[in-house]
Amino acid sequence: MKLQTNIPLEKEGNPINYQSKLLLLGSCFVKNMGNKLKFYQFKTILNPFGILFHPLAIENLVSRAVKEKPYQAEEVFEQNGRWLCFDAHSDLAANSKDSLLENLNSTLQETQKRLHSASHIMITLGTAWVYRNHSTQKIVANCHKVPQKEFGKELLTIKEIESSLERTLECISEVNKKATVVFTVSPVRHLKDGFVENQRSKAHLIAAVNGFLSPQDVTLSQSKGRSRVHYFPSYEIMMDELRDYRFYGKDLIHPNELAVDYIWERLKSVWISEEIYPVMEEVEGIQKGLEHRPLNPESEAHQKFRTSLEAKITYLKERYPLMHFER
């Protein structure tokens, strides 16, 4: 008896291995996948500007990094003793203007370096709803709890999203024509926008990505790096394979740990080289060993366990020097 519908997935070319350099950008769901990649010791830069929910925010980061356009004093503001920027998450906030500008511009440089060297770039789109600041007429990445009256809310059209994705890919191609780009739509529901509004938003994102990946112009699909752009159906897996509230957290909005693990396994089956699965198992064993909390840290059994664990770490680092384990 079949009790679940499964989305057919095939192994992709140019899979991720331990030589790959990864850049992950986008909504909070990309953080789930990024944390998995970091757990398994892949060379990963995750959301350097913090969580970015919509396509224009991601495009802005990529564009500024590629064009080496640093932030200026007039682009930041102070609120409740903290300095913030509408283009970045509050993770980059600072106690002074100079500190924030330093954070923003050093992070831009870090992003630019990874865009140049990345073998894989994963971009997760969260919503098509955006907020435009009335005073600057610019669409922001984060409102930072500034009073709502200072913003207007808009729904990006499918064409606007498609054009944004096109510009983002063009920027990436300026500095890196070999990187594999993977788009996905976040399964996190943005119910604060409204139930119907959330569905409209996700529909716009999915339609735009599909239009971007399968343009009617055949010559266009073969140019501008389209052949190295892919789609991973994380939203569809959540909606069709995990269509039960037991796969959501207490807020009934975010995928829970079980759902994240499930989608990770599906992503792994498509994008991670099978040749390194044994190494990933070694890494997992070490990570779980480091998380172990003994009843008696001074016992002989625990000391032997620690010695064995250190030997495994040393052996693994000899093969993969860039791995770093928190002891």
CA distances from residue 83 to 53, 58, 107, 194, 281 in whole angstroms, order as listed: 21, 21, 16, 31, 43
Question: Does 231 reside within a domain?
Answer: yes
Indicate the residue among 272, 290, 306 that finishes a domain: 272
Same domain, 309 and 204: no
Task: Tell me what the mean pLDDT of segment 45-61 comes to.
Answer: 97
Both structure tokens of 26: 């986008």
Query: Rounded to two decimals, what is the model's pTM?
Result: 0.93
Confidence of residue 130 (pLDDT cuts 50, 70, 90): very high
Question: Does 67 reside within a domain?
Answer: yes
Question: Does 85 reside within a domain?
Answer: yes
pLDDT in tens, 81-125: 999 999 999 999 999 999 999 999 999 999 999 999 999 999 999
CA angle 83, 128, 236 (to 5 degrees): 120
Looking at residue 224, its pLDDT comes to 56
Looking at residue 28, its pLDDT comes to 87
- 206, 238 in Cβ contact below 8 A? no
Indicate the residue among 272, 292, 310 that finishes a domain: 272
pLDDT > 50? residue 218: no
> What is the CATH number for 182?
3.40.50
Question: Does 315 reside within a domain?
Answer: yes
Question: Does 11 reside within a domain?
Answer: no
**Residue 73 CB coordination number (10 Å):** 9
- 180, 227 in Cβ contact below 8 A? no
Q: Which domain holds residue 294?
A: 274-327
Same domain, 210 and 278: no
What span, in angstroms and rounded, lies between the C-alpha atoms of 214 and 172?
A: 19
pLDDT > 80? residue 221: no
Same domain, 197 and 286: no
Same domain, 27 and 169: yes
Same domain, 293 and 233: no
Of 149-153, 220-224, 228-232, which range is least confident? 220-224
Task: Tell me what the mean pLDDT of segment 62-73 comes to.
Answer: 97
**Residue 174 CB coordination number (10 Å):** 14
Same domain, 189 and 59: yes
Same domain, 160 and 291: no
Same domain, 75 and 207: yes
Same domain, 244 and 311: no
Same domain, 252 and 317: no
Q: Pick the residue with more confidence: 76 or 293?
A: 76
Question: Does 1 reside within a domain?
Answer: no
Number of domains in the chain: 2
What span, in angstroms and rounded, lies between the C-alpha atoms of 33 and 39?
A: 10
3-state secondary structure the chain: CCCCCCCCCCCCCCCECCCCEEEEEECHHHHHHHHHHHHCCCEEEECCCCCCCCHHHHHHHHHHHHCCCCCCHHHCEEECCEEECCCCCHHHCECCHHHHHHHHHHHHHHHHHHHHHCCEEEEEECCCEEEEECCCCCEECCCCCCCHHHEEEEECCHHHHHHHHHHHHHHHHHHCCCCEEEEEECCCCCHHHCHHHHHHHHHHHHHHHHHHHCCCCHHHHCCCCHHHEEECCHHHHHHHHCCCHHHECCCCCCECHHHHHHHHHHHHHHHECHHHHHHHHHHHHHHHHHHCCCCCCCCHHHHHHHHHHHHHHHHHHHHCCCCCCCC
Confidence of residue 302 (pLDDT cuts 50, 70, 90): confident
What span, in angstroms and rounded, lies between the C-alpha atoms of 191 and 273?
A: 36
Q: Amino acid letter at 66?
A: V
Looking at residue 2, its pLDDT comes to 77
Same domain, 100 and 127: yes
Looking at residue 41, its pLDDT comes to 97
Average pLDDT of the chain, as a whole number: 93
Q: On the CB side of 309, how many CA atoms lie within 13 Å of its CA?
A: 18
Q: Pick the residue with more confidence: 5 or 231?
A: 231
pLDDT in tens, 256-267: 999 999 999 999
Looking at residue 264, its pLDDT comes to 97
Beginning with the edge strand found earlier in the chain, give each strand of the sheet holding 139-140 in spatial order: 139-140, 129-133, 151-155
Q: Amino acid letter at 20?
A: S
Question: Does 177 reside within a domain?
Answer: yes
Looking at residue 225, its pLDDT comes to 61
Same domain, 123 and 254: yes
Question: Does 303 reside within a domain?
Answer: yes
